[in-house]
Amino acid sequence: MVEQGPPEEIDPIWTSSRTARQIYALGEVEKDITRLLSLAASSIALLSLPQTDGPEDADLPKGAERSEKFVDVANEYFERLDGIQYAIRSSLAHIRHSRVAPSAIDAPPPGFVPPALGVGLPAADGSTAARARGDRGLQEERVERDAWVGILGALTRVKAARDAEAAAAGSAMQS
């Protein structure tokens, strides 16, 4: 796939397993398909005759530059298309290798509306904790967990610092 700009910071959840990486890659494929459609539109615009350019096409090059720009756009189009087909084939190979049951990847029943924030963690009673606490998704649950872990770490460091200060003050008084 063609990279654009500096690589973005990827949430560690997407690197936690091969399946998570495959899901992330499919999300990137979705973005690539959007870019592919944009490149197709640009190619069509560049193939049109310069006399038919409208006012919104003022930024299109003229003459030989137009042909060169078309070649560049067409090359990027085919590179992106190649990246998309590779990512889809890779994901399909992963599904085959994982021996995922076809019933697990069936389409949802008609009228199914997924939760707005994604899948939640299961609660002790079998319902999802997300529904029990305001319809939060898995990512929100993990953010909350990480926040609590951070709070615990900060409080532990504060307690250790206070204990060290008290021990230092106690040894200073004994001297």
Is the per-residue pLDDT at 131 higher than 70?
no
In a domain, 111, yes or no: no
Is the per-residue pLDDT at 98 higher than 90?
no
Q: Are residues 122 and 76 in the same domain?
A: no
Q: How is residue 122 annotated by DSSP?
A: B
Closest CA to 137 of 114, 108, 160: 114
Q: Are residues 98 and 26 in the same domain?
A: yes
Per-residue pLDDT reduced to its tens digit, 59-68: 666 767 877 8
- The arithmetic mean of pLDDT across residues 100-107, rounded, is 66
Q: Are residues 83 and 125 in the same domain?
A: no
Give dist(CA 65, CA 42) in Å, integer. 14
In a domain, 91, yes or no: yes
72-75 contacts at long range (C-beta below 8 A, 24 or more positions apart): 73/39, 73/42, 73/43, 73/46, 74/43
Half-sphere exposure of 45 (CA within 13 A, CB side): 18
Per-residue pLDDT reduced to its tens digit, 1-29: 444 444 567 777 777 777 778 788 888 88
* Residue ending a domain, choose from 82, 106, 130: 106
The domain that holds 72 is classified in CATH as 1.10.287
Is the per-residue pLDDT at 92 higher than 50?
yes
Q: What pTM was computed for the model? A: 0.45
Supply the range of the domain harboring residue 75: 1-106
Q: Are residues 133 and 92 in the same domain?
A: no
Q: Are residues 89 and 142 in the same domain?
A: no
Give dist(CA 30, CA 36) in Å, integer. 10
Q: Are residues 81 and 122 in the same domain?
A: no
Domain count, the chain: 2
Give dist(CA 23, CA 147) in Å, integer. 25
Q: Are 56 and 42 in contact (CB under 8 A)?
A: no
Q: Are residues 80 and 123 in the same domain?
A: no
Q: Are residues 129 and 98 in the same domain?
A: no
Is the per-residue pLDDT at 118 higher than 80?
no
Considering only residues 9 and 56, tell me which one the structure prediction assigns the higher pLDDT.
Answer: 9
